[in-house]
Structure 1
Amino acid sequence: MTVEIGVILPTSTPDPSRPILADVKASARYAEELGLDSVWSTDHLIASGPMLDSTVVLATAAAITERITVGFNVMLLALRPVAWAAKQVNSLQIVSGNRLVLGVGTGNPAHGDVGWRAAGVEYTDRGRLTDEALAVLPGLIAGRPTTLANGTEATLAPGSAVPPIVVAGNGSRAHQRAARYADGWATIAQSPTEVRTNLATINDLAAEFGRPPLRATVVAPTLDNDLARAADQLAAYEQAGVQRVILPPTGDWRRDYDRAADLRGQL
């Protein structure tokens, strides 16, 4: 089995009453020592709970490790001018030795719109702005002359390799976005059957755009506590087209990472 297993760095929390803020260096190093495939950072300006800046988190994780993939889960492109986002991404690519995966999304509505208003962005514009950013992002990251939506031609130096781009979301606009711009698609907690169905829709769209088929990333899959049964579930995910899973945090990152490593040992 080749499905990859990633974990979320302890720099954010799904439960505002139980903040998860711990040592980025220690956790990233431990994940790599355990042989896990990737570590991920969540991205929001103002969330429902404490959250560190994702670019700083991933730069720290990259600096303390040598092999493991570092990823945005997910970067909210619309919160940033696209040229700045591209500069952050290609700088991370360079300092990490091309170990970045760029997850992209439009934000969890549970966090509200205050972060968007604080950034001077209309919440209702986030989908359009994300599409506009994705259209020019690869050229900017690579250091090619690129014309932005406002007509400005910009060239970033130095350029870098463009990381794999994974677009998240379950709606039809997100499916279109993934098919048109991404190398992969991400979803939260979907079953293998749901992934297979949605991925088929996305890949039909990708074929219409003349693009290759995508594979899926599943965040927080529901897995059995028994490791052998959980491994069987991962096999079903892989057969459905899943490239990687990102396991959810429970509040004790070291215990979470140990379990992830135990599960990886079953594959």
Structure 2
Amino acid sequence: MESFEIGVILPGIAVQHRDGLTLAEAARHAERAGLDGVWHGDHLAVGGPVLDAPIALATAAAATTRVRIGTSVFIPAIRPLAWAAKQVATLRYVSGERLVLGVGSGGGPAQWAAAGVPYGERGRRTDIALELLPRLLAGEPVILPEAVDPDARQPVRLAPAVEMPPVWVGNASDAAIRRAARLGDGWFPSLIPPQEVARGRVRLAELAAGHGRPAPVIAVGGAAHVGGGPAAQAEIAAGISGGYGRPLEEVAGIPLTGEPKQVAERLAEYRAAGAGHAVIGVSGGDWRAQVDLLAEVRDLLRR
């Protein structure tokens, strides 16, 4: 059976308190359960308590030895580019090169305002970041385009030098697919049906070929309550609808609920559509128990 990796979003502060576990304990539990990766989102100002992604993932990296360490997703464009590069290089170094850099340009206008970056510049700044990060991480001298005084620009050289981690470009938009085809190693859409993944796969392959590049891998982000029934599915769908401003009927079938066999069957549809990875946010139940059930789902997919 073709390989399919499953990673899990690390628990937020509220879930850590509720379930009595630290971030390091959560990362170790996911690794011991047999999952393939631990992931953390990147949010600056979302109205609630949230940890800084690079620091949280450095903690997870120090607590584990095998699993991928992933950003879901890192927003380089809200940071000065040299600082973003330094954070990525540090995570790459302390994780023993296990980092997968999921990259996005979202987060909503409030996050960009909090960072002091115009929301309308997010696409341009993201493209620049992806174009220059490999050179910055390699320790090459790079003249940054965001210098306050253009006449006083000096090359920036960062150390220690590290190899560029795999970049998975987030979002399901055509702009994201185009960015993934040109600059990414993967396409990383979240909360979309398998049919949309399949359509995106065709577009991605065509665009990548036009740039003389191989088709990037595909990873999907999902929300799950393994063992949950119709009520859990409706609750998660309502949260997706409210949180992302999408019609309820459009997202009603997105949550991954039911017994492990049913969830495995749902993820097999994504695999058939072209995905090789899933990054799952736990949306109900005890976090440790959900991780154990996701590991069972992973085993079912590999039989």
Q: Same fold (TM over 0.5)?
A: yes
Find 1:119's aligned residue among 115, 131, 136: 115
SS in 1 for 2:100: strand
| Number of the residue aligned with 1:7 | 8
Q: Say whether the 8 Å CA contact 1:231–1:263 is kept in structure 2.
A: yes
> 1:60 and 2:59 equivalent?
yes
Q: Which runs of 4+ in 1 moved over 6 A?
A: none
SS in 2 for 1:140: helix
SS in 2 for 1:242: coil
More helix by share: 2
| Number of the residue aligned with 2:268 | 235
| Number of the residue aligned with 1:201 | 203
Residue range with higher mean Cα deviation, 33-42 or 140-149:
140-149
Residue range with higher mean Cα deviation, 119-128 or 152-161:
152-161
Q: 5+ residue gaps in structure 1?
A: 13-18
Give the C-alpha shift of residue 237 in structure 1.
Answer: 1.7
Q: Say whether the 8 Å CA contact 1:167–1:174 is kept in structure 2.
A: yes
| Number of the residue aligned with 2:164 | 162
> Residues of 1 paired with 2:136 and 2:15: CA distance?
34
SS in 2 for 1:5: strand
Q: Say whether the 8 Å CA contact 1:176–1:202 is kept in structure 2.
A: yes
> 1:78 and 2:73 equivalent?
no
| Number of the residue aligned with 1:39 | 38
Q: 5+ residue gaps in structure 2?
A: 147-152, 224-254
1:210-264 deviation digits (Å, cap 9, x = unpaired): 1110121111164351322332332332222212101122253212211111111
| Number of the residue aligned with 2:136 | 140
Q: Say whether the 8 Å CA contact 1:199–1:215 is kept in structure 2.
A: no
Report the TM-score, using the length of structure 1 for normalisation. Answer: 0.91
Instruction: Answer with 1 or 2: which has the greater Rg.
Output: 2
Task: Quickly say closer, same or farther: Cα 1:152–1:260, change in 2 above 3 A.
Answer: farther
Amino acid at match of 1:128: R
| Aligned alpha-carbon RMSD (Å) | 1.7
Q: Say whether the 8 Å CA contact 2:4–2:298 is kept in structure 1.
A: no
| Number of the residue aligned with 1:263 | 297
Give the C-alpha shift of residue 174 in structure 1.
Answer: 1.4
Identity %: 44
Pairs aligned (count)? 258
> Residues of 1 paired with 2:256 and 2:125: CA distance?
35
> Residues of 1 paired with 2:157 and 2:214: CA distance?
28
